Chains A and B, each alone.
Chain A
Amino acid sequence: MKRRDVLVYLVLALIIANAAAYGFTHYEGPSVYGDDPNYLYLASSMLQGTYVMNPGYIFSLRVMQFAPIAMFYALLGVHTYSASAWDIFSYLGAIVVVFLLGRFFYNDRAGLFAAFTISIFPLLTKFAVTTGEDPPLMFVCSLAILMLLYGRKTHKPKYYTASGLLLVAAWLISYEAGVILAFVAVLALFDTAKRFYSNRKHLSHVVFAGCRSLKENITKRKYTAIYMQARGLYTWIGKQASVFLFLGVVIGLLLTFIFSANFSNSGPYVTITRNLNFYSKVGSSVNGLPTIPTSNVRTATLNETLKTLGFYPNDMFPYHIFQLLGLHQQFLQLLNTIKINVFGIGTLTEFGVSFYVLVLAIIVLVLARERRAIFVGIWFAFMFLFLEFGPMSVGISLDPLKIQYVLAYRLGRFLIITIPAASVLIGMAFARLTEFKKLYFMIPGIILVIGLLAIMYFNNTAVSTFWYYWQYYPESISIQAGRFIRYDSNATASTQVYTEAFFNNAVVPYTGSNMPEYLGDPSTSTLQFEIDNTTPCSSFENYSYVIWHGPAHCSNWVNVFNVSQPQGMPEYFIEYETPSLPYVPTNVYYVK
């Protein structure tokens, strides 16, 4: 290996080590988002042999999300880190994939810049330590694209097959993989059309000659010749490496159908039928913007429609720079405000400066007329535009003839699927900025890149620290209450435990022992969720325990433990969050 290569791999190893250090010190298990506990529950049920693929329970279709978690459970035991391991693995894997993509399109330096960028991409670092499906989806999709690119370059069937299999795997993580499937389908059509066009004379000759001789052979009943012709066609198709992409998809789907036939209560094709018919939260909104913007398009005015299209851009560019400038602050004051916004913990952004840097990178690449960035640019644009304008459903009815076009369900975190392409673009732009020959260009270029990397790094530290505490906060309370009941009380595995619904996510589905790490083993039946102020006191069993956020609800409750402070949480954060998270302090009561 050349010395230069050693250096490249050393830097890559450092980037991965830095990301791994973050991942392994910030793992959270299920975040406060509603989906996460489901994957843990399903991983548990898989290990217990009670798993059923059920179309009414959409998460049970996402096999490639919870089966790997089940594997990590089996390998590492049941704990928060094994619950998060699949996401952390995907995060680290994506860094390697992005490095390879950067190298594929540009050079080693672009690969390293891209790898570092994705390792500190705030939206990703926030979710990479949870059990959500977005980081694995992003990883598998980007790996599928990498394999596809290798296949196109080397014409080797193995890469195409791998890409096809990975595309199906992505589909089994979330229906959102449809975005990448659409991209690959468009690409495949384009490639095929291009090949046919460039070989049109030869092809038409072959096709016409083949048809003529086939006709002749049929009329003359030369069956051996027909067989030889068919065999020739078969061999010819077999030599087209790209056909293996399709075959990979077919194999992946067949495996999925066989799996579903065994585990589903609705037949083998449920992963296709249900994923294609999945509406989520029609009519709900985030930050005042509806998640499906055209659900009432007939009554919406143009202005409202345009406003709803700001859903992703609003998230991507969170700092309102123009409004800040409009405040006419003194320069130092302005700098201080920007500093607090960008590097202060507590600004509710998942995106940080990342997409500002991406815009800058795109400008650099356009100015440099960098042709090597075209594919990645199109990849990014396709992903983003699909999320922005793509359909969740195009319902066509014939009588009366109308098309009900429903835009795809939107959440900020869905943009994670665009991060690999965005990182490669940034990597290429940074590489371009550092390769000027003339000193008076080179020095500012290098300073700019180092400055941007530093801003991105510290911005990500602030953003990811905030979200880590924000997500871990409620969990830390439940953990303390759960551990008290498990280790320091008289409770046994059969003791009934009650918790209020909002402790769900932290205590839901861990398993592995009679009284698991926290609580809520689905196999123990000792945890009762969804009690609240209206639950009659008679429904609490005697000698049971209750995790409750306020004063005693019933007269026979004895306070045995009080969590006044979340553990592992800095003081400033507790002050920041309280009272918006109103369930501190939390008590454990013993029911006499």
Chain B
Amino acid sequence: MRLSPFSITVLVILVLALVLFSVQNARPLSSGQKTTVSSNPSSTNNQISRIKNLTYEYIYAPGSSTPEAVAQMISVSEIKTNATSSSVKYNSPFGIHILYNGYFGFDTGKYNSSAFLQKTKNLYYFGYRSTGAKNLLVYGSVANFTKYFILKNTSMTVPSGLSPANYLQETVYLSPTINASGKTWYFCGGIFVSYLNNTHSDTAFNTLNFNGTDVYNSSILNYVSNDCTGVKVT
């Protein structure tokens, strides 16, 4: 039997659809938030391969409910705590590690000479959100964070074995207060990238109040990783 080009094409489509179906089944999509608590430091390859389940959200939309900015360069690769179990006691500090991945730089548009990048300032920040909350809440600023957690220390390092051009790891040490106890808290990595530029005068963002500091002519970008880590405070 001689098959027409049409029949062959339809057969090819069916075969490809089958392949897609099987590939998809082999790697199921993440369904919502996943709780990962781990105290074991992962290896480099493991860290890279665990870049997954990322989503992006908008947070800063002054005077409007529409998204005003979206990060396009940086993602949160991984977030985990160093607590030995999924629960911690109040007043006992625990650390959260967030691995950021991406190209740390900006596309500043048309006349983006390299000199332009001098005016760029990147701020990497960590935040939290409670279950079901839509947006990331920034500690000490938007939410009454200190009521629940006390920030002990943060550090930003280049994870060993990874390129500093593309990876950064932030470690945040938090101590839960008694108010936090009895609840499970979901911590998600967040990135705010503030772009300072004094050559563009007519941007939509004139002033940004960030942690009590005014940042002029900036757009702020926010990421929250979908792969949050959950900690039950007892």
Contact partner of A34 among B19, B24, B54, B112, CB < 8 A?
B112
Whether the pair A265, B54 counts as a contact (CB closer than 8 A) is yes
Stretch at the interface among B82-90, B136-144, B169-177, B198-206: B198-206
Flag whether B69 is at the interface (Cβ < 8 A).
yes
Whether the pair A56, B74 counts as a contact (CB closer than 8 A) is yes
Interface size on A, residues (CB 8 A): 83
User: Contacts A35-B107, A254-B20 known; A583 to B115 CB distance under 8 Å?
Assistant: yes
Flag whether A255 is at the interface (Cβ < 8 A).
yes
Whether the pair A261, B4 counts as a contact (CB closer than 8 A) is no
Question: Cα distance A525–B165 when bound, in Å?
Answer: 8
User: Contacts A35-B107, A411-B110, A525-B162 known; A502 to B75 CB distance under 8 Å?
Assistant: no
Interface size on B, residues (CB 8 A): 71
Closest to B226 in A: A266
B21 vs chain A, min Cβ distance (A): 10
User: Contacts A235-B4, A261-B24 known; A529 to B54 CB distance under 8 Å?
Assistant: no
Whether the pair A412, B113 counts as a contact (CB closer than 8 A) is no
| B interface, over-half SS | loop
Closest to B111 in A: A286
Question: Cα distance A55–B20 when bound, in Å?
Answer: 19
Stretch at the interface among A86-94, A186-194, A237-245, A375-383: A237-245
Cβ proximity bits A227-259 to B, threshold 8 Å, 1 near / 0 not: 000000011011100011001001100110110
Question: Cα distance A502–B106 when bound, in Å?
Answer: 10
Most buried by A among B12, B106, B111: B111
Whether the pair B165, A508 counts as a contact (CB closer than 8 A) is yes
Whether the pair B202, A522 counts as a contact (CB closer than 8 A) is no
User: Contacts A52-B48, A57-B73, A258-B16 known; A501 to B4 CB distance under 8 Å?
Assistant: no
Contact partner of A56 among B10, B24, B75, B166, CB < 8 A?
B75
Flag whether B52 is at the interface (Cβ < 8 A).
yes
A169 vs chain B, min Cβ distance (A): 16
Whether the pair A238, B4 counts as a contact (CB closer than 8 A) is yes
Stretch at the interface among B32-40, B117-125, B126-134: B117-125
Question: Cα distance A111–B123 when bound, in Å?
Answer: 53
Most buried by A among B24, B105, B223: B105
A26 vs chain B, min Cβ distance (A): 19
Whether the pair B109, A281 counts as a contact (CB closer than 8 A) is yes
User: Contacts A57-B72, A529-B164 known; A268 to B20 CB distance under 8 Å?
Assistant: yes
User: Contacts A251-B16, A262-B23 known; A37 to B103 CB distance under 8 Å?
Assistant: yes
Residues on the B chain within 8 Å of A514, using CB: none
Give the residues from 40 to 94 in chain B that come closer than 8 angstroms, CB to CB, to chain A.
Answer: 48, 51-56, 66-76
Stretch at the interface among A4-12, A70-78, A287-295: A287-295
Question: Cα distance A524–B158 when bound, in Å?
Answer: 13
CB-CB nearest 3 A-B residue pairs: A238-B6, A34-B107, A56-B75
28 sampled A-B residue pairs with Cβ under 8 A: A35-B107, A54-B54, A55-B56, A56-B56, A158-B5, A244-B9, A250-B13, A254-B20, A265-B51, A265-B53, A266-B52, A266-B53, A266-B55, A267-B24, A268-B24, A278-B70, A281-B219, A282-B69, A283-B203, A283-B204, A284-B108, A501-B105, A504-B105, A506-B114, A522-B165, A525-B163, A529-B104, A582-B115
Q: A54-B101, A57-B102, A295-B68 are in contact. List 10 more A-B contacts (CB 8 A).
A: A32-B113, A52-B48, A56-B74, A57-B103, A234-B7, A254-B13, A261-B27, A266-B52, A266-B54, A529-B165
Interface residues of A (CB under 8 A from B): 32-35, 37-38, 41, 50, 52, 54-59, 157-158, 161, 234-235, 237-239, 243-244, 247, 250-251, 254-255, 257-258, 261-262, 265-268, 278-288, 290-291, 295-296, 395, 404, 406, 411-413, 474, 500-506, 508-509, 520, 522-525, 527-530, 532, 580-583
